[in-house]
Amino acid sequence: MKGRFFHKANLKYAILLFFVTLILFWKIILHPNYIIWSPHSDLIEQISYWSYFRYKSANEFGQFPLWNPYTFSGYPYVGDGSSHLFYPGKIFLYFFNPYPQFGFIFLVHFFLGGLFVYLFLKTLGIDDFSSFIAGAVYILSVRLAYIVWAGYLETETTIMAIPLLFLLVEKYFRKKQVFYLILVPLIFALQFLGDVAQNSIYTMFAVFIYYIFRAFTVEKSRINFHNMLKYFSIFAIILVLFALLSSIRLFPLLEKFEFSSRRQGLIYEVASTGSAPPYYFITMLMPDFFGSYNNGSYWSIFGSWHIVSYIGVLPLIFVVLNFLNRNKFTVFFLFLTAFSLIFAMGKYTPLFFLFYKFVPTFNLFRHPTSMMFFFNFAMIVLVGFGTNFFMSKLKSPKLKRILFVILLVSIVSIAITVLIYLFASKIMNIGEKILANKISKASIQLNSLEFYKDRLRLAYNEVASGFLSMSAFLLLTTLLFYLKSRKPKLKLIKPFIFLIIFFDLGLYSMSFIQVKDPTIVFEKTDVINFLEKDKGIFRVLPFRNYLLPQRSTIRYNIYKVDGYDSMIMKDYYD
């Protein structure tokens, strides 16, 4: 295994994937003492707080943090759903200032995720370059960039674990070596130790589907009750081993869960919070169609970072090519794409309700959009297959017909773009009339009409620039297919493919990875200065949001009655 990985091609493309990751995270490379930041970041509001608490416990008191006294008037921390005390990838958070580490933790897990995508596709028989393109698209995908922007540091373990688990399952069925199966519960446990339980359960479900799919395709004519019982039993043993390996976190979590506000499960209306509206998937073509959080132009549902899964114009076309190149793997990943997309729609389709009602644990979590992890992963696997088909199997006249279709779509996109810019004033006038009508009928006090007119202009600019960008990359894709049809052996085709993807996807994703000086993020406020004058023991209940954010109060030994956490003790919540 070692010798195979370190042959020349694997090593070359692993280094290239590492450089892609470094470019994506260039801001943390240039500012190693800064913290990953965004205005709506859970990393700032929660994870920095928990990480500082661990660091404080270890360095100031020499204690392992079993109990957190700083929020909710104190609660058992070791069983907290997001504590991640035992994940080896975050061991240095105990001993060194945690804030600069966050960006590098993301960087390492993004690289490993892309590398495992590359190795998985290689195992499926895809060529080196196509596997590299899939790994690069995975690293640069907007779905993962938004994880950094939203500050979901715990989720980086899932980014790494999903392709690795699929790789191990595939290796087992190809080589029939138990070694690969032994690693599966270990990776399940690592993911669970480092991520929220919801992502772990969804991952087990998706890996189980792939495991059964491979069992059926390997056995072929020998599918019978005995074989199926064998494979189901093996997976049951994997789950038992997972429970044993992760018990240091699993059992405290289960114990705390029995006393939490979620112990009876969530009602359907709450569990389906964050469902993806079907119209929202236009962002697969234009990620900022509904505006951007970066400039305040956003105008649709809050929390869209759970939904957007833009992978770029050219990679999306490579995905579509798989309808012309179907095999057992492309059919499976097309199915996984469709399943995860429909599931993520939550309340808009019956599928999520069936899982909520009849599948254990699925009623404990919100945001069915968490299943978009597997939509993103399945799409990227299909990118690898589509790139391979384009590079080696797509011949004339089929190539020319596809070129004609892409050219036609490009012309339509350009025409729409021109119309949007030509009739800008008329479009804005219609929008302003709609705004004025809505504000006049509003039952609650809103901002002024001028405020919303400014937002309307920003939103219009995002839609217009989205069409312009899509048209530009469609034209570049048309040129790529033209070159392929005229000079199929041209060496420039490979770097041209990568450059199109990087300038489309990479530059966009980079804009969501921001850093900030921690001294500014955690600055001491006048309220904290006032409270520090009182040397007694007390707790504070702030009646205004963000008056005393927990990310700052813990640094100055201020104890709070309230807090921000995913799982609250039920008696205290009541």
What are the residues facing 540 on neighbouring strands? 560
- What distance in Å separates the CA atoms of residue 501 and residue 54, rounded to the nearest whole number? 40
pLDDT band at 4 (very low <50, low <70, confident <90, very high): low
As a whole number, the mean pLDDT across the chain is 90
Which residues contact residue 16 at a Cβ distance below 8 angstroms, ignoring those fewer than 6 apart? 132, 136
**Alpha helices (H) along 487-537:** 493-501, 507-510, 518-521, 526-532
- Residues 37/150, Cβ–Cβ less than 8 Å: no
The closest of 508, 504, 513 to 25, measured between CA atoms, is 513
Predicted local distance difference test score (pLDDT) of residue 432: 84
pLDDT at 3 over 50: no
Question: What does the block give as tokens for 120?
Answer: 């998985």
**Which residues, other chains included, contact 239 with Cβ-Cβ below 8 Å and sequence gap of 6+?**
185, 188, 204
The pLDDT of residue 565 is: 78
Residue 2 pLDDT greater than 60, yes or no:
no
Angle at 374 between CA 338 and CA 119, to 5 degrees: 120
Structure tokens at 542: 């702030």
Closest CA to 84 of 36, 152, 151, 154: 154
Give the mean model confidence (pLDDT) for residues 325-342: 96
Q: How far apart are CA 563 and CA 556, in angstroms?
A: 16
Residue with more model confidence, 199 or 258: 199
Q: What is the pLDDT of residue 571?
A: 82
DSSP secondary structure code for residue 45 in this structure: I
Residue 256 pLDDT: 79
* Omega before residue 315 within 30° of 0, cis: no
User: What is the C-alpha separation between 215 and 122, in angstroms, rounded?
Assistant: 20
pLDDT in the model for residue 454: 82
The pLDDT score that the predictor gives to residue 81 is 64
More confident residue, 434 or 466: 466
User: For residue 5, what is the enclosing H or E element?
Assistant: helix 2-5
pLDDT at position 65: 87
DSSP H or E stretch at residue 130: helix 128-140
4 membership: H or E segment, kind and range: helix 2-5
**DSSP-assigned states of every residue in 60-87:** HS-----EE-SSTT-EESTT-TT--TT-
Which pLDDT score, from 0 to 100, does residue 221 have? 58
Q: Quick check: pTM over 0.85?
A: yes
Residues in the chain: 574
Answer for the pair 29, 511: CB distance below 8 angstroms, yes or no: no
**At 108, which amino acid appears?**
V
Determine the pLDDT at residue 345.
94
Q: Which residue in 84, 96, 97 sits closest to 42, CA to CA?
A: 84
Rounded Cα distance, 35 and 518, in Å = 6
| pLDDT tens digits, 280-313 | 889 999 998 888 887 777 877 767 778 888 999 9
546: phi > 0 → left, psi -120 to 50 → alpha, else beta; which?
A: left
Please count the other Cβ atoms lying within 10 Å of the Cβ belonging to residue 456.
19
Whether 1 shows a pLDDT value over 60: the answer reads no
Backbone angles phi, psi at 366, to 5 degrees: -95, 180
Q: What is the mean pLDDT of residues 163-185?
A: 95
Whole-number Å distance between alpha carbons of 384 and 132: 8
Please answer whether residues 469 and 416 qualify as being in contact, where contact means their C-beta atoms are separated by less than 8 angstroms.
no
Tell whether the model's pLDDT for residue 444 goes beyond 80.
no
Distance, in Å, from the CA atom of 165 to the CA atom of 204, rounded to the nearest integer, reads: 9
Model confidence pLDDT, tens digit, residues 109-142: 999 999 999 999 999 999 999 999 999 999 999 9
Percent of the chain with pLDDT over 90: 56
Per-residue pLDDT of 16-33, as tens digits, reads: 999 999 999 999 999 999
Closest to 146 in 3D by CA, of 379, 382, 376: 376
Higher pLDDT, 225 or 532: 532
